[in-house]
Structure 1
Amino acid sequence: MWRSVVARAALSRREGARSFCKSQNPKVPSFSKTLTQAESPHLSTRVSPNTYFLLQNPRFFSQISTNHSDSDSHLSEAEQSSEGFADNGDTRLENFAPDVEIHGVVDQDYVGFDDNRDAQLDSFASGDGVFGNPEQSNDAKWDSFATGEGSGDAHMETFGSGDGEGQVYEIDVEQLENLLSLLQSTVDGSLESSLDGMGLTLHEEFVVKVLETRLVLGENMIRFFKWGMKEKPEFKITSCVVDALVRGICCDLKKKDAYALWDLIKEIGEKENGVLNVEALNDLIGLFSKLGKGKAALEVFNSFGDFGCVPNVDTYYFTIEALSRRSFFDWALCICEKMLEAGSLPENEKVGKIISWLCKGRKAKDAHSVYLLAKEKNQYPPQSSVNFLISSLCREDKTVELALEMLDNFPEEARKYAIKPFSAVIRGLCRMRDVDGAKRLLSKMIVEGPPPGNAVFNSIINGYSKAGDLGEAMQIKKLMESRGLKPDVYTYTVILSGYANGGQMEEACKVLSEAKKNHPTLSPVTYHTLIRGYCKLEEFNKALELLGEMKDFGVQPNVDEYNKLIQSLCLKALDWETAEKLLEEMKEKGLHLNGITGGLIRAVKEMEEEELLLG
C-alpha cells in the first residue's frame, strides 16, 4: 500500500514477466533480427527480448534452424526448449532485467494465459503464429511487451487510479504522511478545520492505514472518524474500518478514549446495520475490563442484541472478568449462568479463572456448576483452581459433600500432592460432626494417598474430643504415632479439653503428664483448659496449684487464667482475699483486669463487711 503508482506498476511488470516465462510455453520468436547484430559489442545495451532469448538458448536456436521445415520436429524441440526455458525462467529474467527496460505488462494477457493454455498449445503445435505472418509473429508480441504498447498502458492507468470494479486502490503517500503528522500531534479544536483544508478522499484502505498507525492519539482518531462520517459522503463505514478503530483505541489504556469510543460505537450501531461484529465488541469489553470498568463492560454485553450480534466464548469470559475485577460477583454470576445455558466454555486456563473468581465471591456452588460442565466437555481446569474450589466448598456444611465427591476425580499423580484439599474436606466433615466420615477418608488417604500429616489427625482427634468420644480420640492418636508422627501440643490440648469438659480431671492430668514429657514447653491454653475444669468442679486449690506450676514450667499465665480464677473465687468461693492477691500479682506483671471483674472483687468485699457489721 505504501508503494507509489510507478513502483507498484514496475513490480507488477516484473511479476508479470516472471509469470509469463514460468507458467507458459513460449512461442518461437521470429528471426527478423540477425545474431551478428545482437552479438556486436557496439550495440546498445537495450536489445530486443527475442534476440536475447536466442543468445541465451543456442541449442533451441540451432534445432529450430535445422528443422524448421518439419512441423513435427518443431513441436518436439519447442516443447523441450519450453520446458528448459520455464525451469530457468527466473535466471533468464535476472540476466535480462539489467539490459532491457520493460515499459509495461498487460495484466490481462498473462492472467489469461492459464485460461487459453490449450488454444495456445494448439496454435504452437500447428506452427501458426510461429513461422507464419511476420506481423503476427512472436517478435511483434515481444516488441509490444517491451514497449508497453497496446492495451497495457490503459490498463495500468486504471490500476493506478483505482477506477473500476475490483481494481486496487493506491494510497497517496504524501497525503497520508501529512495526515498522520497532524493526528500524531496534540491539537486543539482546530483539528476539523485542518482536515477540511487537506482535500482528503477517504477510501477504506486509506482510513484503515491511518487507524492502524501507532502513536496516533486516541482522541484524534475518534475526531477524525467522526469528521469523516459528517463531511465525506464517500466515506463508507465498514466492519474493517470499525475493527481498525477499536484496535487502535485499545492499544492505549485511557478511560476517556474508551468511553468516547463506546459512544461512537453506539452511534454507528444505530445508523449502520451489520457493520458491528462480535470481535470489535469483545475488544471493547476487554478494554473496559483492563480499565476496571465493570459496569461499562456489562453495558456493552447487554447491547449485543441491539447490534445484531450473538455473544461468543470470549464475550462471556471478558465480561465475567471485568465484573469480577470490580467484585460485582452477582452480575458476574448472571453472565456465567447465560454462558452455561449456551454451553459455551473457554479453554481450560480461562475456565479455571472463572471458577476462582466465583469462589472469591463466595459462590462456590455456582463455580462447581462450571466445573461440572467442563467435566462433561472433557475439559480439565488447572489443578490449582480445582483445589481452590474444593476448599471453598468446605466453607459451608451444605456443600462439603460436593467437595468430597470431587476428591474421587483426582488423577493418581495429582493425588499425591493434594494434601490441602483433602485436609479441607476432613475439617469440613468434622465441623459437620461427621467425624466417622472423616475417619473413613483418613483410612482412604493412608491406603491411596496423599499421606496424612499432623493437621489431618488433629482435626479428627478434635472432632471426637468435642463429641465426647475420648476413646476414639485416643485410638486416632495411637494410629498417628504408629505412622511415625509425633503428637504436638495441640494434640494433647484437644484431648485434655475433652476430658476436662467431661469432668474427668484425673485422666486429663495423665495426658498433661505425658505432654510435659514429650514437650519442654506447653501452651498457656493447655493449662487454661485444666484450670477451667477445676474451677467448674470448684476445686480452687488445685486450680491455684496449676497456676503456680505454669510459672515453674516456663509458661506465663495470661489475663484469661487470672480472670477465670478471680471470677470463680468471688462468685463461688466468696474468697475476695485470694482474688485480691491475684489482682495484685497481675498488676506486678503488667496485666490489667477488666473493670467488671475488678468491680466484682469490691462488691464481694463490701458484702462481707456488711455481714460482719450486721452480725
Structure 2
Amino acid sequence: MWRSIAAKSRVVARNFCAIKTPNNRNKVYPSQSHISIWVSSQSSQNLRFLSYFSTNPNENDHSQSSSDDSSMISGEHNDNQFEGLSEQTSLPFSENGDAQMETFTSGDVNADSFVGEENVESEAYEIDVEKLDNVLSLLQSIVDESLESTLDSFSLVLHEEFVVKVLQTPLVLGENLIRFFKWAMKKQDLSVTTRVIDVLVSSICSRDLRRKNAYALWDLVREIGEKNEGLVSVGSLNQLIALLSKLGKGKAVLEVFHKSKDFGCVPDSETYYYTIEALCRRSFYDWAWIVCEKMLDQGPLPDSEKIGKIICWLCKGSKAKDAHTVYLLAKENNKCPPKPALYFLIGSLCRDDGTVKLALEMLNDFEGEAQKYAIKPFSSVIRGLCRIKDLDGAKQLLLKMIAEGPPPGNAVFNTIISGYCKGGDMKEAVEIMKLLESRGLKPDVYTYTVIISGYSNGGQMEEACYILSEAKKKHSKLSPVTYHALIRGYCKLEQFDKALELLAEMEKFGVQPNVDEYNKLIQSLCLKSLDWETAEKLFAEMKEKGLYLNSITRSLITAVKELEEEGLAKEVSIEA
C-alpha cells in the first residue's frame, strides 16, 4: 500500500520539479525548490508539517543539481516523506518559483500510509538485464541438483526487485521457483518481505496444479510464518487454500486454516469460504461446519452468492438445520442468498420431520414478485406438512397461496387430498377437490384415484363408485390403479361378482388389467370363497393376454382344488 502511495506522490513531484541527470537517466530527482506539505494524521486529526526537502529557494540554477545528487542519495532527504498524496494533488508555485504551502484535510491523505522508509538508492535500483537473463535461462530449463551451485556462480547481488522479477516471469517451473526462493533466502543481502512471499505464492498457484509443488510451497510458507510472525499475509494463505482445494486436499486445507493464527493472520471471508469449500468437496461436512461456526462467531461473512453455495454444500451433507443457521445470520447482515439456494434449503428442511416448521417460517421471507413465482418452495412445504400429518397447516398454507400467490396447481391440491384420504377424512378431501374445481382447474385421474382409494379403504363402495362415474365423464382413459382400488375394496367385502364386473369393464376405458388386479382377485377367490374354478378361469385368461401368475398364487389354486376334491371324496365314502 505505502509503495503505491509513494509512487503516486513521486508522479506529482515530477510534474513540477523533475529533472534527469546525464549520468543517471533512469533516476529522477526533485529540483531545488522548497515544497512544504500539510498532512493531517488520521488517528489524531492534528495537522503535522512534513518537509520533503529544503534547500535555498533562491538557487534555481539546474546546473547545480548534479552536484547535489550525492547528498540526496545519502538519505538525508527521503522522497518517501512525500507519501500519501494522490496524483491529483496540486502544488501551486509563486512567481519566483517557490512552492506555496497547501493544506489538506484528513480525507485527502491517510497518515497511516506513512509506513517505513526507503531511500533514493533503493528507488533508483536498476536490474542487471544480463544477470537476469542468465537466471531465467537456468530456471526455465529442467535442472538437476546443481541449480543452487550454478546460481552461486553467477555472483548475484540480490535485491527485492530482482527476485520479484524472477518470480513473475512465466514459463518457469514451479519447482524451480521454490528452489530459487529457498536459495535466495539464505543470502545476507536479501530481506524476505511480505511482498516477495505474495508474489511467490501467486506465481505458483496460478501456474502449477501439481500436488508435489503445492505441498512444497506450503512447507516453505509455514517455515517462514513460524519464524516471522506477521510476515505471511492472509491473501497468500487464501491462494494456497484455494490451490489445495482444487487438488482435493481437504485435510491440508484445514491445517493451513488452523496455522493462520500462529502466523498472526486474521482469517477473512475468503479464508472461511475456500476452507469450507475444500472440506465439503471431500465430504468432510462435520469439519466444514466447525469452520462455519467460527465464521458465524467471528466474521466476516462472504458475499451473498458464496453464502448460497455454503448453504447448498451443508444441505448436501444432511446439515439442513445448520445451513438454516447460516441463512439466518446472513439475513441479519443483509446478505440474502440467491433464490436457487433458498429453494434448495427449504426443500432440504422439508425432508426431515423435525425441520419442516423452519421451512414454513422461511416462506414468510418471500414477498411481492418473489412470492408469486415461488411455487417450488411452497409445494415442498405442503408436502412436508402432509407427511407429518399437519393437514390443517397445509390447508391454511393452500388458502394463503390462493389469496396471495403463488397460484397452486393440481399437484398441490392432490398432495393435500391424498393426506386427508390417508387419514380417513373423506369430507375434507372432497371439499379440497371442490375448491380445486372452483379455481378453474380440472381434477386429474390421480385426484379421482386417491379419493376412490380412500372410500374403498373405508368400505364406502357406493361413494367410491360415484367418484368413478364422475371420473368416466371427464376422462376417456383411466388408470389401472383406479380400478385396482375398487377391486380391492370389493374383495375386502367379499363381493366378488362386482369385482369381476370391474375387471371386465376396464378394457372399455382403455385400461389393460395387469398382474396385480388378477393376483388380488384370484387370492381372494381362493382364500375367502374357495372358488378355485373361477380362479382357474382368470388364470387361463391371464395366459391368453400374455400375463404370468406368480408360483405362490398358482400353488394356492392347486391347493384349494385338492382340498375340495378330498372333501368330496370323504363325503362319497361316508355315504357309501
Task: Report the TM-score range of the alignment, normalised by the length of the smaller protein.
Answer: 0.7 to 0.9
Q: For the structure 1 residues 601 and 300, does the alpha-carbon distance in structure 2 shift closer, same or farther, using more than 3 Å as the test? A: farther
Map of 1:152 onto structure 2: 69
Q: Distance in 2 between matches of 1:193 and 1:524?
A: 85
CA deviation after TM superposition for structure 1 residue 118, in Å: 9.7
The question of whether the paired residues in 1 share the 8 Å contact of 2:228 and 2:263 is answered with no
CA deviation after TM superposition for structure 1 residue 112, in Å: 5.2
Deviations 1:490-519 (A, max 9, x none): 110111111011101111011111111111
Q: Distance in 2 between matches of 1:590 and 1:176?
A: 85
The question of whether the paired residues in 2 share the 8 Å contact of 1:229 and 1:235 is answered with yes
Deviations 1:5-53 (A, max 9, x none): xxxxxxxx999886338xxxxxxxxxxxxxxxxxxxxxxxxxxxxxxxx
Give runs of aligned pairs for residues 175-574 of structure 1, distance below 5 A. Answer: 175-230=131-186, 232-251=187-206, 252-574=208-530
Query: SS state of the match for residue 190, structure 2?
Result: coil
User: Which has the larger displacement, 176-185 or 418-427?
Assistant: 176-185
Q: Distance in 2 between matches of 1:18 and 1:360?
A: 60
Q: Distance in 1 between matches of 2:269 and 2:35?
A: 44
Deviations 1:173-225 (A, max 9, x none): 22112222222233334433332332233322221221122222112112222
CA deviation after TM superposition for structure 1 residue 280, in Å: 1.1
Alignment gaps of 5+ in structure 1: 1-12, 22-92, 124-128, 130-137
CA deviation after TM superposition for structure 1 residue 269, in Å: 2.9
- Is 1:113 aligned with 2:30? no
Map of 1:61 onto structure 2: none
- Is 1:172 aligned with 2:169? no
Q: For the structure 1 residues 592 and 294, does the alpha-carbon distance in structure 2 shift closer, same or farther, using more than 3 Å as the test? A: farther
Map of 2:94 onto structure 1: none
Q: Distance in 2 between matches of 1:278 and 1:107?
A: 35
Map of 1:602 onto structure 2: 558
**Counterpart residue identity of residue 290, structure 1:** K
CA deviation after TM superposition for structure 1 residue 312, in Å: 2.0
**Counterpart residue identity of residue 203, structure 2:** G
Deviations 1:525-549 (A, max 9, x none): 1111111111111112222221221
Q: Distance in 2 between matches of 1:539 and 1:270?
A: 86
Give runs of aligned pairs for residues 65-80 of structure 1, distance below 5 A. Answer: none
Q: For the structure 1 residues 302 and 607, does the alpha-carbon distance in structure 2 shift closer, same or farther, using more than 3 Å as the test? A: farther
User: Which has the larger displacement, 340-349 or 104-113?
Assistant: 104-113
CA deviation after TM superposition for structure 1 residue 416, in Å: 0.8
TM-score, normalising length: structure 2: 0.80
The question of whether the paired residues in 2 share the 8 Å contact of 1:16 and 1:110 is answered with no
Query: SS state of the match for residue 408, structure 1?
Result: helix
Deviations 1:427-480 (A, max 9, x none): 111111111111111111111111111111111111111121211111111111
Q: For the structure 1 residues 533 and 376, does the alpha-carbon distance in structure 2 shift closer, same or farther, using more than 3 Å as the test? A: same
Map of 2:16 onto structure 1: 19
Query: SS state of the match for residue 484, structure 1?
Result: coil
**Counterpart residue identity of residue 391, structure 1:** G
Map of 2:542 onto structure 1: 586
Q: Distance in 2 between matches of 1:493 and 1:109?
A: 93
Q: For the structure 1 residues 569 and 155, does the alpha-carbon distance in structure 2 shift closer, same or farther, using more than 3 Å as the test? A: same
Give runs of aligned pairs for residues 56-67 of structure 1, distance below 5 A. Answer: none
Q: Distance in 2 between matches of 1:311 and 1:284?
A: 13
Q: Distance in 1 between matches of 2:543 and 2:167?
A: 77
Alignment gaps of 5+ in structure 2: 1-9, 37-50, 79-117, 572-576
Deviations 1:89-120 (A, max 9, x none): xxxx9xxx9xxx95569966626531599986
Q: Distance in 2 between matches of 1:407 and 1:168?
A: 64
**Counterpart residue identity of residue 423, structure 2:** A
Q: For the structure 1 residues 119 and 297, does the alpha-carbon distance in structure 2 shift closer, same or farther, using more than 3 Å as the test? A: closer
The question of whether the paired residues in 2 share the 8 Å contact of 1:104 and 1:152 is answered with no
Deviations 1:370-393 (A, max 9, x none): 111112222221122112211111
More helix by share: 1
Larger radius of gyration: 1
Q: For the structure 1 residues 194 and 476, does the alpha-carbon distance in structure 2 shift closer, same or farther, using more than 3 Å as the test? A: same
CA deviation after TM superposition for structure 1 residue 592, in Å: 3.2
CA deviation after TM superposition for structure 1 residue 305, in Å: 2.7
Query: SS state of the match for residue 34, structure 2?
Result: helix
Q: Distance in 2 between matches of 1:118 and 1:199?
A: 39
The question of whether the paired residues in 2 share the 8 Å contact of 1:394 and 1:425 is answered with yes
**Counterpart residue identity of residue 169, structure 1:** Y
Q: For the structure 1 residues 342 and 18, does the alpha-carbon distance in structure 2 shift closer, same or farther, using more than 3 Å as the test? A: closer
Map of 1:38 onto structure 2: none
The question of whether the paired residues in 1 share the 8 Å contact of 2:457 and 2:489 is answered with yes
Q: For the structure 1 residues 514 and 341, does the alpha-carbon distance in structure 2 shift closer, same or farther, using more than 3 Å as the test? A: same
CA RMSD in angstroms comes to: 3.0
Q: Distance in 1 between matches of 2:509 and 2:298?
A: 67
Match of 1:612 among 556, 568, 572: 568
Q: Distance in 2 between matches of 1:102 and 1:16?
A: 20
Size of the aligned set, in residue pairs, is 504
Query: SS state of the match for residue 293, structure 2?
Result: helix
CA deviation after TM superposition for structure 1 residue 345, in Å: 1.4
Q: For the structure 1 residues 263 and 491, does the alpha-carbon distance in structure 2 shift closer, same or farther, using more than 3 Å as the test? A: same
Q: Distance in 1 between matches of 2:121 and 2:343?
A: 61
